[in-house]
Structure 1
Amino acid sequence: MSGDRAKVEAQGSKAARILYKPWGIVGSIVSALIARQVFQAVWTKVVPVDSDDPPKPLESEYSLKEVVGTALIQGAIFAVVKALFQRGSARAFQRWTGEWPGD
């Protein structure tokens, strides 16, 4: 990334950050829904057919390894989808308003 581009992205007025807040909240909800769908799709491909839902921490029939592995996969998917969505929405906001909404 060039230095000028990073500087432009780093700049943002207080008004832009305030205007972006509702957009960011809605984006977080939408990205969580998308991440959930992506995780379910990945889960159905990775796990045997007899298991519909991922193991939950309080379900005793699953080992700690299975629960932690599932949490790692789910967390990684959620983090990536959220980062992609936030970055894309910030760029769209910048195109529409001319200001970067971040710090």
Structure 2
Amino acid sequence: MAGKLEKVALKPVNLALGIAAGTLAGMVFKQVWKLATGDDDAPDAGDEERGWGEVLAAAALQGAIFAVVKAAVHRSSAAGAKRLTGHWPD
């Protein structure tokens, strides 16, 4: 029963962490893109003025940053749950 209760209790925490991770990843991506290109805005796939290479490079960089931030947040929350409960969450 305690395991089920812990899962229910962690759901809102995980949701909030996911939203925060997405926001953080977006901010990191904007800064990295600005440093890499000097351009304030990353290209959108529908932007007719930007070339294929630039659009695909931006998408790949954004995906990599989001994946790393998501993994870091997930791992940190699991480690925090273990500190609180004494076992690794499922």
Work out whether the TM-score is over 0.5: yes
- Give the counterpart of 2:24 among 34, 51, 55: 34
More helix by share: 2
Partner SS, residue 69 of structure 2: helix
Q: Does 1:88 align with 2:76?
A: yes
AA in 1 matched with 2:13? W
**Residue matched to 1:7:** none
Write the distance in 2 (CA, Å) between the matches of 1:76 and 1:39.
9
**Residue matched to 2:66:** 78
Q: CA deviation at 1:93?
A: 1.3
AA in 1 matched with 2:58? T
**1:30-85 Cα distance to aligned partner (Å, 9 max, x none):** 1111111111111111003xx21000011100111111110000010001001001
Q: Does 1:63 align with 2:51?
A: yes
RMSD of the TM alignment (CA)? 1.6
The structure with the larger Rg is 1
**Which of structure 1's runs of 4+ aligned residues deviate more than 6 A?**
none
AA in 2 matched with 1:86? H
Write the distance in 2 (CA, Å) between the matches of 1:64 and 1:87.
34
TM-score, normalised relative to structure 1 = 0.78
Q: Is the 8 A contact 1:54 1:70 kept in 2?
A: yes
Question: Where do 5+ consecutive residues of structure 2 fail to align?
Answer: none
